[in-house]
């Protein structure tokens, strides 16, 4: 991991295309300005983690036979009749 010290209004340039600038520092809050090509996705780390957690929850809750009844109920709620076993 590369660790750099920057002051307000100083920046780093990543790969010649993406600039991350420290706009202001106020106590423990740092405001960053990011200029990046449109194909670069910039996402808050917490949001990525939250999505990953929810995905893991979704995959984990599958795999139990009891869910088939739950799914049938959902199918009924969606107004589609399921085949009788």
Partner 1 sequence: MRIRTTRYGEEELLEIPDLQSFEFSIGIGGFEDEHHYALVIEADSPIEWLQSVNTPSVGFPLLEPFLFYPEYGFELRDADADALGLRAPEDALIRCVLTLHDDPEATTANLVAPIVLNRRTRKGRQVILQGTSLSMRYPVFESLRLTAEA
The three-class DSSP label of residue 56 is helix
**Cα–Cα dist 80/74, whole Å:** 9
Q: Could you tell me which stretch among 2-10, 18-26, 27-35, 72-80 binds partner 1 (CB under 8 A)?
A: 72-80
Stretch that binds partner 1, among 5-13, 20-28, 74-82 (CB under 8 A): 74-82
Q: How many binding residues for partner 1 (CB under 8 A)?
A: 40
Span of 3-11, 16-24, 26-34, 67-75 interacting with partner 1 by CB under 8 A: 67-75
Q: What is the per-residue binding string for partner 1 in 45-64, x denoting contact by CB under 8 A? A: --xx-xxxxxxxxxx-xxxx
CA–CA distance, 37 with 34 (Å, rounded to integer): 10
Whole-angstrom distance, CA of residue 60 vs CA of residue 10? 44
Helix (H) and strand (E) counts in the chain: 2, 3
**Which residues contact partner 1 by CB under 8 A?**
38-41, 43-44, 47-48, 50-59, 61-75, 77-83
């Amino acid at each position: 991991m590369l660790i750099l010290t920057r002051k307000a209004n100083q920046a780093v340039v990543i790969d010649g295309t993406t600039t991350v600038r420290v706009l202001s520092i106020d106590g423990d809050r740092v405001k960053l300005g990011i200029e990046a090509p449109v194909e670069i996705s910039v996402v808050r780390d917490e949001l990525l983690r939250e999505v990953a957690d929810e995905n893991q929850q979704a995959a984990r809750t599958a795999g139990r036979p009891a869910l088939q009844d739950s799914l049938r109920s959902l199918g009924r709620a969606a107004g589609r009749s399921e085949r009788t076993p």
